[in-house]
Amino acid sequence: MKKLVLAATIALAATGTTVALADGKSTYQQACFACHGTGAAGAPKLGDKAAWASRVKQDMATLETHAIKGFSSKPGLMMPPKGGRMDLSDADIKAAVAYIVNQSK
């Protein structure tokens, strides 16, 4: 399966087509929207500048680490590691973080 995905990725890259797996927007839609699109579980919503203001003041590396390893700023609030999608690569998560941050500041 991994080999197939790799082959498809290379084929797409060669034709200049957007590579779905490394595309932050599609990763966001598949893995992050459930919470960050709706505010479920207290998640800061995509595009909610006020909710993201203090978060984007941190550097990108911190936000990426929090998204990859998980993060809880207070009891009852929890960003699960990789949004629960442990099948996604760190690069996929970083691309999704970049997408969210760019839409939210």
Residues engaged in binding ligand HEC (CB under 6 A): 31-32, 34-36, 41-44, 55, 58, 63, 66-67, 71-74, 77-80, 82-85, 93, 96-97, 100
Inter-residue contact 18 to 28 (CB < 8 Å): no
**C-alpha to C-alpha distance for 89 and 86, rounded to whole angstroms:** 8
16-44 burial: b if 16+ Cβ within 10 Å, else e: eeeeebbebbbbbebbbbebbeeeeeebb
12 versus 66: smaller Cβ distance to ligand HEC: 66
Least CB distance to ligand HEC at residue 25 (A) = 11
25 versus 85: smaller Cβ distance to ligand HEC: 85
The 3-state DSSP class for residue 25 equals: helix
Least CB distance to ligand HEC at residue 13 (A) = 22
19 versus 34: smaller Cβ distance to ligand HEC: 34
Task: Compute the half-sphere exposure of residue 99: CA atoms within 13 Å on the CB side of its CA.
Answer: 20
Least CB distance to ligand HEC at residue 70 (A) = 9
Least CB distance to ligand HEC at residue 50 (A) = 13
